């Protein structure tokens, strides 16, 4: 087998060499998924006939891990990978030595993992998973005396990941890795130059300045915090995410979250107002890295196909939506529909001359109230559940005023939803449209 050209951090070497159960509690973007992929690839090669099962919340997460493992194998032992009918797929890799790795998106129930048997169980982003997933997935190791590899950034002092991190029964080798420590201590190499290190340190400095102490501590220092709380409860998410996709003809509202510089996801969320008190989500579309011209065309296409009443986008500073909003205002099809919603203000008229102060927190509070009253129903979609679950709130002192700060690492879908829901809730309709289900 070829030797790896990757220069590993010391903590990654220790993770790679450890035999047995491991728990990685890490800051973001430090290489935890990379080292799990390498460790999984080596395990498959060194243990013929073995099976590794990867549990993730969504289809995209499952595909990402499989891609990383396949990339490692192709670079270091390409002839080990089966071809033909057993060639790699988006959720499975089979080796010629009969070893197999399977990635399963399990949503919030874990039911799709029942019935499998594995020698290793990998659980990524474990802090955001419901207890049902652990109850369903851990028995896969019962008859194999297998290993559990768990990894995540913290998400409050709650759930199985928090309990496992405390390690009261010494079940795991626990690794607690801060992003600051990794960036500072990573040895300079061809792949990690002094220039990259300095840029990363500046990025962390900028993040610390922009984020609250609690938010930065959780996301980059990997600290478990009580004071960051989940905004939409698991029970409320389960109660509201029940609908199937459909395409109504009238009273449709689009909320767009346009990727900012450095981010990669743009989302389009469409809700339908079925009465003056009831709103249903009818579509959710997520696009990966794309040009603003493509985003603009997407909005135009959605307007035509959905007969939209209003389009809410963020056109504030730092958003790529500024140029898109300007071009949509020049288009006769959308100029009377597009509404700038900048998390600070909202247009009250078609000409954008009258404005009302509205903050991000107002839009979130509006959507939460509608969900709690049962007036808002959302799609039965794991990506939507994950986005809602990622939203957290904390109290921040602003001089004489204490304000609520809302954040979320997977907020793209929810950001689009709060805009669409706000527009729909403010729109009064004279006729009740009855839809048959």
Q: Give the pLDDT confidence of 30-47 residue by residue, as tens digits.
A: 999 999 999 999 999 999
Q: What value does the CA radius of gyration of the chain take, rounded to a whole number of Å? A: 24
CA-to-CA distance for 260 and 318, rounded, in angstroms? Answer: 7
- Which residues are CB-contacts of 44 (< 8 A; sequence separation ≥ 6)? 50, 52, 73, 80, 93, 95, 97, 99, 100, 101
pLDDT grade for 160, boundaries at 50, 70 and 90: very high
Q: Which two tokens stand for residue 195?
A: 């220039």
Q: Which residues pair with 174 in a beta bridge?
A: 23
Q: Say what the pLDDT of residue 346 is.
A: 53
Q: Where in the chain is the domain with CATH 3.40.50.300?
A: 10-206
Any alpha helices (H) in 22-113, and if so which ranges? 32-46, 59-76
pLDDT tens figures, 99-123: 999 998 887 677 778 889 999 999 9
CA-to-CA distance for 127 and 240, rounded, in angstroms? Answer: 22
As a dihedral over the C-alpha atoms of residue 203, residue 361, residue 234, residue 162, rounded to 10 degrees, the angle is: 40
pLDDT tens figures, 193-218: 999 999 999 999 999 998 888 889 99
pLDDT tens figures, 299-332: 999 999 999 999 999 876 455 667 888 899 899 9
CA-to-CA distance for 234 and 240, rounded, in angstroms? Answer: 10
pLDDT tens figures, 43-87: 999 999 999 999 988 888 888 889 999 999 999 999 999 999 999
Percent of the chain with pLDDT over 70: 89
CATH of 229-426, one of 3.30.420.240, 3.40.50.300, 3.30.390.50, 1.10.260.40: 3.30.420.240
Was domain 10-206 assigned CATH 3.40.50.300? Answer: yes
pLDDT grade for 348, boundaries at 50, 70 and 90: very low
In the predicted model, is pLDDT for residue 91 greater than 60?
yes
Q: Which residues pair with 255 in a beta bridge?
A: 269, 312
Length of the chain: 437
- SS3 state at 361: helix
Residue 92 CA: distances (Å) to CA of 33, 52, 96: 17, 10, 13
H/E stretch holding 281 reads: strand 279-288
Across the chain, mean pLDDT equals 88
pLDDT grade for 260, boundaries at 50, 70 and 90: low
pLDDT tens figures, 405-424: 888 888 999 999 999 999 99
Q: Where in the chain is the domain with CATH 3.30.420.240?
A: 229-426
Residue 421 CA: distances (Å) to CA of 219, 362, 410, 414: 28, 12, 18, 10
pLDDT tens figures, 388-398: 999 999 877 66
DSSP string, 289-337: S--HHHHHHHHHHHHHHHTEEEEEE--STTBTHHHHHHHHHHSTTTTTT
H/E stretch holding 339 reads: strand 338-340
CA dihedral sign, ordered 230, 121, 265, 305: negative
Query: Are residues 366 and 425 in contact, defined by beta-carbon separation less than 8 angstroms?
Result: yes
As a dihedral over the C-alpha atoms of residue 229, residue 231, residue 233, residue 238, rounded to 10 degrees, the angle is: -150
């Amino acid at each position: 087998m070829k030797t790896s050209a990757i220069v590993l951090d010391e903590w990654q070497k220790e993770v790679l060499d450890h035999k047995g159960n491991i728990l990685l509690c890490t800051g973001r973007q430090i290489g935890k998924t990379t080292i799990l992929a390498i460790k999984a690839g080596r395990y498959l090669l060194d243990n013929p006939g073995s099976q590794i099962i990867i549990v993730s919340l969504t289809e995209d997460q499952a595909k990402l891990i499989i891609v990383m493992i396949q990339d490692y194998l192709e670079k270091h032992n390409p002839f080990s990978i089966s071809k033909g009918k057993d060639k790699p797929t988006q959720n499975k890799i089979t080796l010629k030595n009969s070893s197999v790795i399977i990635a399963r998106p399990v949503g919030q129930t874990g039911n799709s993992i029942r019935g499998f048997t594995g020698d290793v169980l990998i659980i990524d982003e474990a802090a955001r998973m419901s207890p049902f997933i652990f109850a369903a997935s851990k028995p896969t190791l019962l008859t194999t005396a297998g290993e559990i590899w768990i990894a995540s950034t913290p998400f409050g002092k709650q759930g199985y990941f928090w309990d496992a991190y405390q390690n009261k029964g010494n079940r795991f080798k626990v690794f607690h890795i801060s992003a600051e420590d990794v960036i500072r201590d990573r040895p300079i190499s061809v792949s990690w130059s002094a220039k990259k290190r300095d840029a990363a340190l500046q990025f962390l400095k900028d993040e610390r300045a922009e984020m609250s102490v609690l938010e930065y501590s959780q996301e980059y220092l990997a600290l478990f915090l009580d004071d960051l709380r989940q905004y939409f409860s698991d029970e409320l998410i389960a109660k509201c995410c029940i609908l199937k996709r459909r395409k109504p003809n009238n009273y449709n509202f689009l909320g767009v979250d346009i990727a900012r510089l450095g981010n990669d996801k743009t989302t389009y969320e469409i809700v339908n107002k079925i009465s003056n008190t009831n709103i249903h989500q009818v579509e959710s579309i997520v696009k990966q890295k794309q040009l603003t011209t493509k985003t603009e065309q997407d909005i135009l296409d959605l307007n035509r196909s959905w007969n939209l009443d209003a389009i809410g986008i963020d056109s504030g500073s730092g958003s790529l939506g500024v140029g898109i909003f300007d071009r949509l205002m020049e288009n006769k099809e959308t100029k009377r529909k597009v509404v700038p919603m900048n998390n600070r203000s909202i247009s009250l008229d078609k000409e954008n001359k009258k404005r009302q102060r509205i903050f991000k927190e107002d839009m979130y509070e509006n959507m939460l109230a509608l969900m709690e009253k049962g007036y808002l129903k959302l799609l039965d979609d794991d990506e939507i559940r994950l986005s809602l679950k990622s939203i957290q709130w904390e109290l921040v002192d602003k001089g004489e005023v204490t304000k609520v700060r809302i954040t979320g690492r997977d907020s793209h879908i929810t950001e689009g939803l709060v805009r669409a829901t706000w527009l729909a809730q403010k729109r009064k309709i004279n006729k009740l449209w009855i839809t048959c289900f």
